Amino acid sequence: MISKAAPENVDPRTGELLRLYVWVWLPGQTEPVPAGVLTRTDRILAGDPVITFTYGRTYLQRRGAISLFDAELPLTSGTFDPSRPGEVTGAFAGRSAFGRTLVSRPRQPLPLHGCVRDGGPDAWGRRVINLRRASDPNQYLSELTYLRESGSDRIGALDFQDSPQQYEPRGGSATLEQLLAAAERLDAGEPLPPDLLAAAGRGTSIGGARPKALLTDDSGRSLIAKFPSSTDIRPAVRAEAVSMLLAGHAGLDVARVEVRAVDKRDVLIVERFDRGRDGTRRALVSGLTILGEHEMGARHASYADLAESIRVGPWTEPGMTLQEMYRRLVFNVCAGNTDDHLRNHAAFWDGSHLTLTPAYDLEPVARRGREASHAIALTRDGRRDSRLRTALAAAAEFHLTQAAARDAIDDVVDAIRRHWDEACDQARLTEAERNGLWGREFLNAYIFEGYAASD
């Protein structure tokens, strides 16, 4: 069961949380420290209460303290209001608060700072919390409630607590079989028996819309388990596995995966890249947060914007990062991963620099026709058609010549062709499933329209 918040932390009129404390694992540390407080205001933005953030005085004085993200919450006193980006009230006069801009356009007003929201659950985790609270997968809860009632083993290096003094982790352990059973019941909207409640908690603090959960194996590896859904009309788990495996063959830095059979169901196991086996955690921010976009406005963003942030922002090895990001763009076209929205791009944050995380969620999207479009545009002028000629048109944004871009495109296409059978074997795809994916999601004829391979 989920513990109740203290009465003084609950609005008597609405029953909503008033505040929540942010704890953070600093780089190289194995225990979290309190960083600051989230406070709900009476103002509403995009249907949600605006939630401010203030660093704790002790944290500001702590040796080795880092900002949660300079572009949003630089390490300074005062209160940060996400609906007024670039402003801080109550800071020391004359002190420069905000670091280097990451894109040419201004950051969008938000109800909750993006770097904080990145630590919260998305569609699946919220569905789990809703069902655990009131057996209603579609009820509305406040952002503070979702942060508080999700598990502590969340993506990144943040957690959220009722107290600034005492840290109490949430979430228990579970076997893979229990996780699968809990996910299947939740996916079907069924109530959970007591023995599966702990397992359900392992799926509350992770992003994405599909059934999934967090676990640790016997060797100490932190993993994500992604499960089949009752609504699947195709082998989604195995299709994502083959895509991730092919991405590695195509030269991308990608999270390691494997397919396991659990109770006669396929489960995709993804090794986490935000955890060290020594108990350390790595902070990260999503592409949505990097670009300062609102969830609903992200459709106006592009790979060109991501490239700009790499060119002008505090990124490590920007030249190599641009090449890696371009190769991911190309691979997504070739693999039919058109759901490449900004939450499916992320970077580690160490307090001063961004470093691209390994690629993840490279899932081919079922094709409903000949043409396909990406969740974000490929080019500066808004072209999002899933074709290699459009990828080629974006090359200059990544500081690539046309010849270098063609080499990258042809290399990715060739790698997919050469390693298809090997990757399909590893992903446990049947012959019929391979035939259903090849030429449809993978290397669909549409992507080659208007593009001629280089000699």
- 28, 144: one domain: yes
Is residue 111 within 8 Å of residue 51, measured between CB atoms?
yes
The DSSP secondary-structure symbol of 377 reads B
Residue 232 pLDDT more than 90?
no
Residue 455 domain flag: no
DSSP, collapsed to helix, strand or coil, labels residue 275 as strand
Residue 338 domain flag: yes
- 109, 189: one domain: no
Q: Which residues contact 372 (CB under 8 A, 6 or more apart)?
A: 336, 338, 365, 385, 386, 444, 446
d(CA 162, CA 147): 11
285-342 pLDDT, tens digit each: 999 999 999 988 778 899 999 999 999 999 999 999 999 999 999 999 999 999 999 9
| Amino acid type, 1 | M
Residue 169 domain flag: no
- 264, 292: one domain: no
- 201, 290: one domain: no
Q: What is the mean pLDDT of residues 420-425?
A: 98
- 313, 378: one domain: yes
Residue 43 pLDDT more than 70?
yes
Give the model's confidence band at 228: pLDDT under 50 very low, under 70 low, under 90 confident, else very high.
confident
**Domain span including residue 391:** 284-448
Structure tokens given for 122: 């998305």
pTM of the model: 0.93
Radius of gyration of the chain (CA): 22
- 243, 124: one domain: no
Residue 166 domain flag: no
Give the model's confidence band at 437: pLDDT under 50 very low, under 70 low, under 90 confident, else very high.
very high
Report the 3 state secondary structure along 71-98: CCECCCCCEECCCCCCCEECCCCCCCCC
Q: Which residues contact 64 (CB under 8 A, 6 or more apart)?
A: 26, 27
Question: Which is nearest to 95 in space by CA: 55, 64, 62, 52?
Answer: 55
- 365, 392: one domain: yes
Model pLDDT, residue 1: 39
- 137, 20: one domain: yes
State which H helix or E strand residue 319 sits in: helix 318-335
Answer with the one of 161, 187, 221 that is the final residue of a domain.
Answer: 161
The number of domains in the chain is 3
Is residue 47 within 8 Å of residue 55, measured between CB atoms?
no
In the block, tokens 């009230």 appear at 89
Is residue 285 within 8 Å of residue 388, measured between CB atoms?
no
- 114, 185: one domain: no
The mean-pLDDT minimum among 62-66, 276-280, 379-383 falls in 276-280
Specify the CATH number for the domain of residue 215: 3.30.200.120
